[in-house]
Amino acid sequence: MKIHVTDWYLHIQSREMQRRFVISYNIYIMNENDRERMRAFGRNDGLLDGRMP
């Protein structure tokens, strides 16, 4: 599923809401990357133990 982030962003008028959206979206991307890394290392519980592989 392709998410059109720029479309969402342009529809947000408030600067504060834009800032919150960007922060939460970056966290979402980060979590997606962590899940991919976990899968690559054979861990599928989705829990980070604080150590980078």
Query: What are the pLDDT digits (tens) for 14-53?
Result: 777 777 777 777 777 777 777 777 666 655 454 555 554 4
- State the pLDDT at residue 52: 47
pTM of the model: 0.30
pLDDT of the residue at 26: 76
Give the C-alpha separation, 40 to 32, whole Å.
Answer: 13
Burial string for 25-50 (b: 16+ CB within 10 Å, else e) reads eeeeeeeeeeeeebeeeeeeeeeeee
The secondary structure of 16-50 as a DSSP string is HHHHHHHHHHHHHHHHHHHHHHHHHTT--S----S
**The two three-digit tokens of residue 49, written as one number:** 């133990």
More confident residue, 47 or 8: 8
| In the chain, domain spans | 5-38
Q: What is the per-residue pLDDT for 28?
A: 76
pLDDT band (50, 70, 90) for residue 10: low
